[in-house]
Chains A and B, each alone.
Chain A
Amino acid sequence: MSYEKHSPMPLSELELIRQAQRGDERAFTRLVSHYESLVYGFAFKVCRDKELASETWQDTFVNVYRKLHQFDGRSKFTTWLYTIVVNNCRMKRRKSKLEVASVSIEAPGGFHDTRGTDDEGRGAQTTIPPWKETPLDAVMHSELKGVLDSAIQKLPMDYRIVFILRDVEGLSAEETGRILKLSVPAVKSRLRRARVFLRERLNPYMTT
Chain B
Amino acid sequence: MRTKTLKCSSVLDHICNELDTKISSRKCQEIRRHLARCPNCTAYLDSLKKTIRLYATYPHPHVPAKNRKKLLAVLKLSE
Task: Count A-B contacts at CB 8 Å.
Answer: 151
Q: Is the CB of B74 within 8 A of A199?
A: no
For A54, the chain B residues whose CB sits under 8 A away are 64, 67
Main secondary structure of the interface of B (DSSP, over half): helix
Beta-carbon nearest neighbor of B59 in chain A: A140
User: Chain A 121-140 against B: per-residue CB contact (8 Å), 1 yes, 0 no?
Assistant: 10011111111001010011
Q: Is the CB of A206 within 8 A of B7?
A: no
Q: Which of A118, A134, A196 contacts B16 (CB 8 A)?
A: A196
User: Chain B 57-74 against A: per-residue CB contact (8 Å), 1 yes, 0 no?
Assistant: 111111110011011101
Q: Is the CB of B3 within 8 A of A40?
A: no
Q: Is the CB of A120 within 8 A of B37?
A: yes
Using CB atoms and an 8 Å cutoff, list the residues of chain A in contact with chain B.
25, 28-29, 32, 36-37, 40-41, 44-45, 50, 54, 57-58, 61-62, 65, 110-113, 116-121, 124-131, 134, 136, 139-140, 144-145, 148, 152, 163-164, 167-168, 170, 188, 191-192, 195-196, 198-199, 202-203, 206
